[in-house]
């Protein structure tokens, strides 16, 4: 029997993401997400996307967003993913314009600034970037990795 998955497809600034909400897909196991990301993001055999956003409950924020790239790898965060998640939440909770979204690194604020034709202008607060070699992570003799070639 085929597995039925309820999903939505959004795009933000030339990135396409498939959104899966845990609330709509309770029977789907999180450990199957890397394989699903590879299958569903494939432009020939799936719906085609740059990645998959798995939305699940959070104890600290409005929702948790896990990002899976098209190759099935997990990513800590995506700015466009945050924008898409906030528009998705707006479709579910129409009175709110600001959301807290938990990612792999932090809780990020998003603000739907203005409704425009076909969508929203969304501001995201992504936090401070880390350039220390140990935070990237990369082996380097330098403390910081800025404008340096990487093998």
**With 80 as the cut, is the pLDDT of residue 138 above it?**
no
DSSP 144: B
Of 79, 75, 70, 73, nearest to 13 by C-alpha is 79
Q: Please report the pLDDT score of residue 123 as a whole number.
A: 95
**Is 137's pLDDT higher than 80?**
no
Between 66 and 118, where is the model more confident?
A: 66
Model confidence over 6-58: pLDDT tens digits?
A: 999 999 988 999 999 999 888 888 899 999 999 999 999 999 999 999 999 99
Q: What confidence score (pLDDT) does residue 28 get?
A: 81
What is the model's pLDDT at position 1? 59
pLDDT value for 122: 95
The Cα–Cα gap between 14 and 83 comes to 12
What is the value of pTM for the model shown? 0.85
What span, in angstroms and rounded, lies between the C-alpha atoms of 121 and 135?
Answer: 31
Of 31, 33, 32, nearest to 67 (Cα)?
33
Q: Is the pLDDT of residue 148 over 80?
A: no
- pLDDT tens digits, one per residue of 67-119: 999 999 999 999 999 999 999 999 987 789 999 999 998 999 999 999 998 88
């Amino acid at each position: 029997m085929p597995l039925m998955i309820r999903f939505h497809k959004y795009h933000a600034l030339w990135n396409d993401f498939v959104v899966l909400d845990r609330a709509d897909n309770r029977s789907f196991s999180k450990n199957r997400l890397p394989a699903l990301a590879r299958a569903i993001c494939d432009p020939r055999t799936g719906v085609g996307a740059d990645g998959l956003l798995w939305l699940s409950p959070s104890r600290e924020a409005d929702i948790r967003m896990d990002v899976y790239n098209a190759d099935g790898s997990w990513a800590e965060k995506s700015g466009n993913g945050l924008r898409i998640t906030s528009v998705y939440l707006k479709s579910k909770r129409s009175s709110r314009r600001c959301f807290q979204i938990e990612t792999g690194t932090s809780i990020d604020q998003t603000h739907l600034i203005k409704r425009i034709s076909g969508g929203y202008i969304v501001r995201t607060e992504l936090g401070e970037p880390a350039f220390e070699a140990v935070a990237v992570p990369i082996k380097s003799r330098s403390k910081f990795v800025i404008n340096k070639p990487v093998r």
